[in-house]
Amino acid sequence: MVSIIIPVYNCERFLDRCVESLVAQTCSEIEILLVNDGSKDGSLAVCRKWEARDKRVIVIDRPNGGVSAARNAGLDRARGDYIAFVDADDYVESTMYEKLVGVARERGADLVFCRYEKFDEHGEVTRIDERAELLGLEQKNVAPFVYNGDKDLIGGFVWRSLFSAALVKNGRFPLDQAINGVAVGEDVIFLLNAILRARKVCFLNERLYHYYRPATWSAKYVLNDSYSLCMRRYVLALQNVLHAFGEDDLAASQNFYAYDIVASQYIAFRSNYRRDLKRLLKTDEFYRKATERENLDAYRKIYRPDSLKKKIRFFLLRHHMFTAYKLMRKFA
């Protein structure tokens, strides 16, 4: 059985679409755990409606504690052999869990990823995750994908993943990763810890998850010292994985990831947030070290991009050419 955990907070508008895609799964052996996290709109009523309609739906009603606490509450109640997570404003293909479970069983994997597409409030697809093959990685071969920044393959999104219960049942999402009510980095920390323990990881070349991200999403963030702390935790989790896999040059890799975060946030946020970021680049040691040329040069010695596109992106990052980097990420 697959336990599908959905944290719910003020998602009344999207919740029916999400749950409809789950009850329609061709994998019939599922339980759908709707964790209402103190919603102030009609989300709880929608959850109760589905609980009355389908015996596979279980509602957990709890005081507001954030998405990580809600996911942890779902983990406590989950009974399945496999664990999955879905965000309440997203939806999935009807065959998603049948296919992921099939790969897990056939390949003996305890962590399986699939492809996804991102869509906005107008229903327009704004990003498609691309990968050419079904890829199976033994634990000793996972590190290079993490190490070389292959985020399309090993990205920080738990919702496009299927975990064996043995891998994550005792794991927990960090509870203090929210900035102004928006969770930051909790997915990647949980996921990296799972990768650390996984015996085998597989990637399925099918677009099965639909990720909702409105154009105004980035306006929710404020770049401040708390945000910087979350980014430190993210990089520390990455460092722990690399150390466990016996990779060398950890400091260089850590600095590159930190720098990639800096660049990504710079190009994502509006101009007023860029001022905050520029302040952090001057005053925060984490950000300042991440952008020092010698640290990037040290990473370049071990970073081996496998395509011309990655080589160009690294060059643009190294020379602080953020606008060109943004355009390349968008169109190339």
Render pLDDT for 37-68 as a digit per residue (tens, 0 to 9).
Answer: 999 999 999 999 999 999 999 999 999 998 98
Tokens, residue 221:
């963030």
- DSSP H or E stretch at residue 179: strand 178-179
pLDDT tens profile 90-104: 999 999 999 999 999
Q: Looking at the structure, do residues 204 and 100 belong to the same domain, yes or no?
A: yes
Q: Looking at the structure, do residues 245 and 182 belong to the same domain, yes or no?
A: no
Q: Is 293 exposed, middle or buried (0-12, 13-18, 19+ CB in 10 A)?
A: exposed
pTM: 0.74
DSSP string, 264-283: HHHHHS-HHHHHHHHHHHHH
Q: Looking at the structure, do residues 207 and 257 belong to the same domain, yes or no?
A: no
The answer to whether the CB of 241 falls within 8 A of the CB of 124 is: no
What's the DSSP call for residue 182? Answer: E
Q: Looking at the structure, do residues 254 and 183 belong to the same domain, yes or no?
A: no
- DSSP H or E stretch at residue 138: strand 135-138
d(CA 152, CA 100): 17
d(CA 86, CA 63): 20
* pLDDT on residue 327: 73
- The residue from 187, 215, 243 where one domain ends is 215
Tokens, residue 21:
């895609």
Q: How many domains are contained in the chain?
A: 2
pLDDT tens profile 186-195: 777 788 778 8
Q: Looking at the structure, do residues 26 and 108 belong to the same domain, yes or no?
A: yes
pLDDT tens profile 286-310: 656 655 655 555 555 545 555 677 6
Q: Looking at the structure, do residues 226 and 195 belong to the same domain, yes or no?
A: no
Q: Virtual CA dihedral for 40, 42, 43, 44, nearest 10 degrees?
A: 90
Q: Looking at the structure, do residues 254 and 194 belong to the same domain, yes or no?
A: no
Q: How far apart are the first and last CA of the chain?
A: 40
- Domain range for 72 is 2-215
Q: Looking at the structure, do residues 161 and 240 belong to the same domain, yes or no?
A: no
* pLDDT on residue 233: 63
d(CA 186, CA 172): 10
Q: Looking at the structure, do residues 262 and 119 belong to the same domain, yes or no?
A: no
CA atoms within 13 A on the CB side of 279: 12
φ/ψ bin of 186: left (φ > 0), alpha (ψ from -120 to 50), beta (otherwise): alpha
